Structure 1
Amino acid sequence: MQHLGYELSANVSLLWTEHDYLDRFAAAADAGFGAVETWWPFPDAEPTAAQEAELLRSIEAAGVRLRGLNFFAGDMPAGERGIATNVARRAELTANITAVRRIAEATGCDRFNLLYGQVADDEDPTAQHATAQEAVTIAAAALADQGGVVLIEPLAAGLNGAYPLHTHEDVIALLEGPLAGVAGVGLLFDTFHLAMNGVDVVAAAGRSAAHIAHVQIADAPGRGEPGSGDLAWDEVFAALRAAGFAGPVAAEYRPTGSTADSLAWVRP
């Protein structure tokens, strides 16, 4: 599916929630999407062989390409937003990186969102940041020969606990600082999270152009489909084009009605 010159992928963790999870890949294909992405779909960092095979069968049967996959991020419903900052969970993350690599090999997936993790106020913040940065480096190295890019995403303040990355500038500071020289790492430019943190999304597209590796779109406020909030979408896409960003772009929003009705904004 195309929108203003960009191939769109559909995030099946938020779209088609009216269907069971494994049925959403076929629903995306039926709606005209050739590519999809998903948050980590398993309750644990390391899926069973049966769980992994079931996911791969559903993707293959739908005839869609898996374009993006999140690493395991802990207990998201309970409020966790990644485990990379937590050195005590390094073995868990290491096992997850191995599982992500298997899925990448099987599907050709090349974008991987590694949520940075929250910073505990009872531990040394410098050490926690160093732990997360080491995790990003390890993950990028593990996926390098697959052409994979590890994504670092700023999240909306106030909605994600003590998550320390709030703007594109926070991520660029990492990419140009402690992660400079680490290949296969880039900025996940999420319009909802940035806008909720007071960022001018149109202006930020130009500033971030050299580092954007993936774009996710949702309106703000509300995180609904484009047109449900206040963002100027023609200007957003024009800014991305002017900045030289060629894709990919993912629809990662919570539909305000049915998913089918929420796609009315798409223009070839």
Structure 2
Amino acid sequence: MSDVTAASAWASVKGRATVNLSILFSELPLLERPAAAAALGFTAAELWWPFGTESTPGEAELDQLRKAFSDAGVRLTGLNFLDDLSVGAKGTASVPAESDRFRENIPVAVALAESLGAGALNAIYGNRVPDATAAEQDELALENLTRAAQAAHAIGAVLLIEALNRNDAPDYPLHTAAAAVEVVDRINAATGLGNAKFLLDLYHLAVNGEDLEAVIDTHADKVGHVQIADFPGRNEPGTGTLDLAGLLDRLTAAGYTGPIGLEYKPASGVSADSFEWLPRELRAAQAG
């Protein structure tokens, strides 16, 4: 594909690309990743919770991360609350044993997001656990996510709720767009703020066999963030079977104009080699 053709195909990404630095550039130390992304023309990035199982990292660690972003001239667009994804827990919001740590993390994550300009915080719901019923976990999640939504609202941010794929997260209860949107609606009803939104990850929903066009047509008005990877493989666009450019055009036509997160694994294992699909002139994000 020529640069002209690629620029036309991916026009809907212009000014909206944000690189997920937890999965891309992971061959580098975390503090080197913002500069690596900037060197390739990106000006915005997102992160899973970057401090492992630490719910309240020290100020020195937080300042180092802030400096890495500011020195690189990269704005943070999205941040996960404490998620413990590194140990396969798939979030903490609904897990009784992790509830205190989730609550401790809320002000820390919100302050970090605000300091780096992020307008979205993602709360991974948490797996079902044997020592609590589904109803008990859902009640706890609503309480915790209400707190998170209120804290996010205080800095003008949205709270994101995401569906994950059942292969990687079989014990995670939100496997469909409808299930995630139902949680979004519950949070908004509880807070009255309207700042809970659906994180539409096209890869996860593709793994689960959802009709992606129908999801867009049905739920576009609830979408607060989008993430992409091709299917199968979770690699860069063009390595699988999804018409990601067409799906993003459809989202844009449906009214979604927010960030588009590049949350994929580079097929070659080298992140810098995985962006040929997106011409450099389309990589920089609009400010704000």
TM > 0.5 between the two? Answer: yes
TM-score normalized with structure 2 length:
0.88
Q: 1:73-121: CA deviations, max 9, x gaps?
A: 12x2321011111233222111110111221231121111100001113
Contact 1:140–1:185 (CA<8 Å) still a contact in 2?
yes
Pairing 1:137–2:149 present: no
Match of 1:82 in 2: 91
* Percent of aligned pairs sharing the same letter: 38
User: Distance between the aligned counterparts of 1:138 and 1:183, measured in 2?
Assistant: 13
Which of residues 11, 14, 17 in structure 1 aligns to 2:20? 11
Contact 1:119–1:164 (CA<8 Å) still a contact in 2?
yes
Pairing 1:184–2:195 present: yes
TM-superposed CA distance for 1:179, in Å, is 4.0
Contact 1:206–1:242 (CA<8 Å) still a contact in 2?
no
Q: Which runs of 4+ in 1 moved over 3 A?
A: 176-179
TM-superposed CA distance for 1:178, in Å, is 5.8
Aligned length: 266
Pairing 1:123–2:132 present: yes
Which of residues 87, 90, 94 in structure 1 aligns to 2:103? 94
Match of 2:245 in 1: 234
Contact 2:91–2:126 (CA<8 Å) still a contact in 1?
yes
Pairing 1:60–2:70 present: yes
Q: 1:190-241: CA deviations, max 9, x gaps?
A: 0110000001222211111110000000011111001111101232122112
Match of 2:286 in 1: none
User: Distance between the aligned counterparts of 2:240 and 2:103, measured in 1?
Assistant: 39
Q: 1:36-95: CA deviations, max 9, x gaps?
A: 001111021111111111111101111110101111112x23210111112332221111
Contact 1:172–1:187 (CA<8 Å) still a contact in 2?
yes
Q: Which moved more, 1:58-67 or 1:17-26?
A: 17-26
Q: Which moved more, 1:78-87 or 1:110-119?
A: 78-87
Match of 2:116 in 1: 107
User: Distance between the aligned counterparts of 2:182 and 2:101, measured in 1?
Assistant: 27
Match of 1:168 in 2: 177
Match of 1:223 in 2: 234
Pairing 1:42–2:45 present: no
User: Distance between the aligned counterparts of 2:97 and 2:193, measured in 1?
Assistant: 24
Which of residues 259, 265, 271 in structure 2 aligns to 1:259? 271
TM-score normalized with structure 1 length:
0.94
User: Distance between the aligned counterparts of 1:208 and 1:247, measured in 2?
Assistant: 14
**Per the alignment, in what secondary structure is the counterpart of residue 145 of structure 2?**
helix
Q: 1:7-62: CA deviations, max 9, x gaps?
A: 10000111112221110000111111110001111021111111111111101111
Question: Which amino acid is the alignment partner of residue 154 of structure 1?
Answer: A
**Per the alignment, in what secondary structure is the counterpart of residue 27 of structure 2?**
coil
Question: Which 5+ residue runs of structure 1 have no aligned equivalent?
Answer: none
Contact 1:156–1:196 (CA<8 Å) still a contact in 2?
yes
Contact 1:167–1:199 (CA<8 Å) still a contact in 2?
yes
Question: Which 5+ residue runs of structure 2 have no aligned equivalent?
Answer: 1-6, 283-288
Match of 2:210 in 1: 199
User: Distance between the aligned counterparts of 2:228 and 2:273, measured in 1?
Assistant: 17
Contact 1:72–1:93 (CA<8 Å) still a contact in 2?
yes
**Per the alignment, in what secondary structure is the counterpart of residue 263 of structure 1?**
coil
User: Distance between the aligned counterparts of 2:168 and 2:245, measured in 1?
Assistant: 27
